[in-house]
Amino acid sequence: QVGKKVRLSRILKSDGKAVVFAFDHGVEHGPKDFPPEHIDPNKILEKVVGTGVDAVMLLPGMAALTHNVWANKTSLIIKITSKTNLRPEDQRFLQSVFGYVEDAIALGADAIAATVYWGSQYEDAMLSLWFSIREVAERYGLPCLQLAYPRGPAIKNMYDVEIVKYGVRAAVESGADLIKTYYTGSKETFAEVVKVASGIPILMSGGPSRENPMDFLRDVKNVMEAGAQGVVVGRNVFQHKNPSGMVKAIMAIVHEGMEPEDAIKF
Ligand code: FBP
At residue 265, does pLDDT exceed 90? no
Measure the CA–CA gap between 182 and 197, rounded to whole angstroms: 13
The share of the chain scoring above pLDDT 70, in percent, equals 100
Q: Read off the pLDDT of each residue in 72-86 and give the average, rounded to a whole number.
A: 98
Indicate whether residue 210 lines ligand 1 (CB < 6 A).
no
Domain definitions of the chain by residue range:
2-263
What is the overall mean pLDDT for the chain?
97
Please state, as a whole number, how many other Cβ atoms lie within 10 Å of the Cβ of residue 187: 17
pLDDT in tens, 136-195: 999 999 999 999 999 999 999 999 999 999 999 999 999 999 999 999 999 999 999 999
pLDDT in tens, 16-39: 999 999 999 999 999 999 999 889
Question: Atom 10 in ligand 1: which residue has the minimum CA distance?
Answer: 22
Q: What is the CATH number of domain 2-263?
A: 3.20.20.70
- Residue 26, pLDDT score: 97
- Residue 266, pLDDT score: 79
pLDDT in tens, 236-252: 999 999 999 999 999 99
Among residues 135, 137, 117, the alpha carbon closest in space to that of 126 is found at 117
Catalytic residue among 79, 180, 221, 248: 180
Q: Note if 83 is an active site residue.
A: no
- Residue 1, pLDDT score: 85
At residue 55, does pLDDT exceed 90? yes
pLDDT in tens, 183-202: 999 999 999 999 999 999 99
Indicate whether residue 25 lines ligand 1 (CB < 6 A).
yes
- Residue 52, pLDDT score: 98
Task: Give the β-pairing of 96-97 and 81-82.
Answer: antiparallel
**Angle, CA 249 vertex, CA 112 and CA 181 arms, to 5°:** 35
Among residues 228, 130, 118, the alpha carbon closest in space to that of 176 is found at 130
Q: Which ligand 1 atom sits nearest the alpha carbon of residue 233?
A: 2
- Residue 189, pLDDT score: 98
CA distances from 179 to 113, 172, 228 (A): 9, 8, 10
Among residues 266, 264, 202, 206, the alpha carbon closest in space to that of 239 is found at 206
